[in-house]
Amino acid sequence: MNLRPALVLLAGACLALSACKREPSPSAGPEIPKDETADQFIARVNEEYRELYPEVTAAQWLSSTYIGDDSQLLAAKANERWLTRLNGWIEQARRFEGREMSPETARAIHLLKLKTAMPAPRDAQKLAELTRIATRLEGMYGAGSACTGEGPARRCRQLGELEDVLRTSRDYDEQLDAWQGWHGVAGPMRQDYSRFVELVNEGARDMGFADAGEMWRSGYDMSPVELAAETDRLWGQVKPLYEQLHCYARTRLEARYPGRGSVDGLLPAHLMGNMWQQDWSNLWDILAPYPNAGSLDVTAALQRQARRTYERRLEALDTLPEPSRLAEEERIAQQAMAATMTRRAEDFYTSLGMPQLPDAFWRKSQLIKPRDRDVVCHASAWPMDLADDVRIKMCIRPNEEDFTTVYHELGHIYYYLAQKALPPLFQEGAHDGFHEAIGDTIVLSMTPSYLASIGLVDAPRQGQDALINSQMRMALAKVAFLPFGLMIDRWRWGVFDGSIAPADYNASWWALKARYQGVAPASPRGEEHFDPGAKYHVPGNTPYTRYFLAHILQFQFYKALCEAAGHDGPLYACSFYGSEEAGRKFWAMLGRGASQPWQDTLEEMTGSRQMDAGAVLEYFAPLQGWLKAQNEGQACGWSDAAADAAGRP
């Protein structure tokens, strides 16, 4: 699953917004009313925000779906105007410091200061430079290709093709070649990224923060120090479960690749079935506990459906088509399959009583990769006008990872729709982890029984073997992700505060991946590389702690919705598909947006004011017990020395 990813606005596209706000100096914007009160100021900002928003999103959408010099110029200029406007609003808000105002207005002013993940310097030239670099970095990622050979023998592969190798091949060298190929794309980003850090840090200081990382950590209704401590506490709750899963996976890989299945006790980065080792679901053929305890191969079922869709189109033709017609029929079949997968996800949300997606969604979303241009395939959800023009941007393929990602992205879409009546400054998640948790809460409800009901797996068998298979299937996505959700921002926090210098970017990246994930490259990765740039959220400047928090919150939400649906039984067996009572509870939470502290919203939803991993451990209790038994006698874990040495020449 591409967690998120997404901005979705909040993950993928929103990042577009979130990362691209700004406002011209007061003289460049509308005239400031004389004797304006704080309440009137926020009312005006909301009105201007709503008016400006579509311009920025439209430019960013074009830049992501028609990558080129022209679209990148338009996006950079739109972002420049937006960030200038945002800076102007923030400067104007200083007039009201220390003055009495309504709690709603005080909250809106606080949120205004945190409206971008890319704080821009006040200096106009530096602001323009920042937007150019940001647009260029995202474009480099979207257009990146790994090329080999020369002349007629030259072959280039983009991310999707390279991911397919990791997903399906079990040839050690073939996987290594694909992994190294994509990571080679990021090297040229290093200089731009270093300058980007300097500029956003200056922007953060202009706003009163020590650096951009401190600003990011200030958006959680708690202090930056408290947020860092809270994530450490939550990681401490789930770390033992992850270590057991890591130990089991390492044992299986060592059996599959004798002598090469681990690197000093760490998992080889290129063997985990995923470019960033954030999701191990593609290793089901290696890691399935009981291969004969029923099929949970969702990818195979989706690929069969896709083939049937294509074959039916060919059968309808009167004559043997030319190659160009065959290619067009294949594309039409791909689009139809992507739409089928998306409508299946929509059906889950509507079964809860939520509305059908607007017509604009189906007309304007990018569901598959175009053949005629470069696009950013990283999945994201986009609220284009703060109303009914909502879209997703994906390059959907018929596999389980993309299938669950569609459910995830629609979670963002329904969040946008639920809060469209709120003032624009409150149209956010309760915090950004909430936004990322919505769709994944639905994914937890995709039990074997649900998947069987939609024809993607066999009727679920009963018994311990089938239960462990089901739990493992979910753990390879959910538990495997947890340390990855932490380490990216641990790296960026260090980059922003200067404790990680540009000369140590790559070494520090691999040290953190080793420390948190227990993962290492098969061979040294020196500073000639910039491996952080191979993950979209780094060049795309999307904060990542949200995804870690989402993987905790989604289990809390899931438990609360199962209770609302009247589920009676173990937590892992619950699917609230079709429960309008669960849907009402969910929709009410979505409709709150960021209008109140997240602790209040969480309490309304779950009865608790604290994020807690107890529901994660309750859900996976059978698997954790099984893993401990399987790992008995194994030397689980990895040494600090191995972590410190990971990736170094």
* Structure tokens belonging to residue 581: 């009572």
User: Which of 183, 270, 408, 551 is flagged as catalytic?
Assistant: 408
Residue 156: strand, helix, or coil: strand
End-to-end CA distance of the chain: 31
- The answer to whether 17 and 57 are in contact (CB under 8 A) is yes
d(CA 525, CA 528): 8
Establish whether 246 is a catalytic residue. no
Q: Which of these, 339, 331, 156, 154, lies nearest to 323 by C-alpha position?
A: 331
Establish whether 435 is a catalytic residue. no
CA 9 from chain centre, in angstroms, equals 10
User: Which of 183, 246, 378, 431 is flagged as catalytic?
Assistant: 378
Establish whether 409 is a catalytic residue. yes
| Cα–Cα distance list, 226 to 31, 113, 219, 504 (Å) | 39, 19, 11, 27
- Angle made by CA atoms 647, 271, 266, in degrees to the nearest 5: 45
Establish whether 604 is a catalytic residue. no
Establish whether 408 is a catalytic residue. yes
Establish whether 547 is a catalytic residue. yes
- Token pair 């079990």 in the structure block, residue: 170
Pairing of strands 155-157, 390-393: unpaired
User: Which of 183, 246, 412, 551 is flagged as catalytic?
Assistant: 412
Establish whether 6 is a catalytic residue. no
Establish whether 412 is a catalytic residue. yes
d(CA 527, CA 509): 11
The packing angle between helices 124-143 and 69-93, to 10°, is 140
User: Which of 129, 400, 409, 563 is flagged as catalytic?
Assistant: 409
d(CA 443, CA 398): 17
Q: How many other CB atoms are found less than 10 A from the CB of residue 300?
A: 15
User: Which of 338, 379, 475, 594 is flagged as catalytic?
Assistant: 379
- The answer to whether 185 and 534 are in contact (CB under 8 A) is yes
User: Which of 163, 436, 645, 646 is flagged as catalytic?
Assistant: 436
Pairing of strands 267-268, 380-383: unpaired
DSSP string covering 285-298: HHH-S-TTS----H
Cβ neighbours for 480, distance < 8 A, ≥ 6 positions apart? 242, 245, 277, 278, 279, 280
Cα-Cα-Cα-Cα dihedral sign, residues 323, 324, 325, 328? positive
Residues classed as catalytic? 378-379, 408-409, 412, 436, 537, 547
